[in-house]
């Protein structure tokens, strides 16, 4: 709409109007985003076509039927990956993940480690933390300070 009226606006000498300049700036920003998307899509499509063409050339040049079948399977796999990566999902029966109904309570082990980390600034000594908790009867599930640290890092404490 704005681009179709561009000549009329220029002829009316309204190009110095700040509101018209703002409208054109927004339109330019929107169009440049679409241009970037189109350029990326074009580059992805070109890469896809080149890769598929190369695989089909291998199939045509190969005499061994087992290798031809392997190349064909590779093409099919590549196409599925490209479709999943670049095209929007058209799956009608898409499911949503199950959300936990009950809130997760922090374990006594996790509460203890968080408190120790809060108190001890700087580098945290997992060996000392593990030894102190063993005397208090915590960390029964862990065989060493290393397994305790790994459980904390994986958020399974």
- Residue 156 DSSP SS3: coil
In sequence order, what DSSP letters do the residues of 99-144 get, joined into one string?
PPSSPPPPPHHHHHHHHHHHHS-SS--HHHHHHHHHHHT--TT-SS
- Residue 4 DSSP SS3: coil
Residues 78 and 128 in one domain: no
- Residue 151 DSSP SS3: helix
User: Is the residue at 95 inside a domain?
Assistant: no
User: Is the residue at 74 inside a domain?
Assistant: yes
Q: Phi and psi of 96, rounded to 5°?
A: -100, 150
User: Is the residue at 44 inside a domain?
Assistant: yes
How much is the average pLDDT of 59-78?
88
pTM: 0.37
Residues 81 and 114 in one domain: no
User: Is the residue at 97 inside a domain?
Assistant: no
HEC profile for 72-100?
HHHHHHHHHHHHHHHCCCCCCCCCCCCCC
Residues 18 and 57 in one domain: yes
Say what the pLDDT of residue 107 is.
81
Rounded distance between C-alpha atoms, residue 121 and residue 133, angstroms: 18
User: How does residue 55 score in pLDDT terms, banded at 50, 70 and 90?
Assistant: confident
What's the pLDDT tens digit per position in 80-125? 888 887 776 666 666 666 665 555 677 888 888 888 888 877 788 8
User: How does residue 146 score in pLDDT terms, banded at 50, 70 and 90?
Assistant: confident
How many residues are recorded in the chain? 157
Q: Which of 52-61, 122-131, 135-144 has the highest mean pLDDT?
A: 52-61
Domain housing 11:
6-86
pLDDT surpassing 80 at residue 9: no
User: Is the residue at 96 inside a domain?
Assistant: no
Say what the pLDDT of residue 104 is.
65
pLDDT surpassing 50 at residue 1: no
Total domain count, the chain = 2
Residues 69 and 119 in one domain: no
């Amino acid at each position: 709409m704005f681009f179709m009226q561009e000549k009329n606006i220029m002829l009316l000498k309204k190009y110095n109007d700040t509101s018209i300049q703002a409208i054109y700036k927004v339109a330019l920003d929107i169009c440049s985003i679409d241009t970037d998307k189109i350029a990326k899509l074009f580059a992805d499509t070109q890469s896809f076509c080149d890769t598929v063409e190369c695989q089909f050339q291998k199939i045509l040049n190969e005499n061994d039927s087992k290798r031809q079948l392997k190349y064909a399977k590779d093409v099919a796999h590549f196409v599925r990956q490209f479709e999943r990566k670049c095209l929007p999902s058209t799956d009608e029966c898409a499911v949503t993940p199950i959300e936990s109904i009950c809130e997760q309570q922090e374990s006594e082990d996790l509460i203890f480690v968080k408190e120790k980390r809060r108190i001890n600034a700087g580098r945290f000594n997992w060996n000392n933390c593990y030894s102190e908790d063993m005397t208090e009867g915590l960390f029964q599930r862990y065989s060493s300070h290393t397994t305790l640290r790994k459980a904390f890092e994986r958020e399974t404490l």
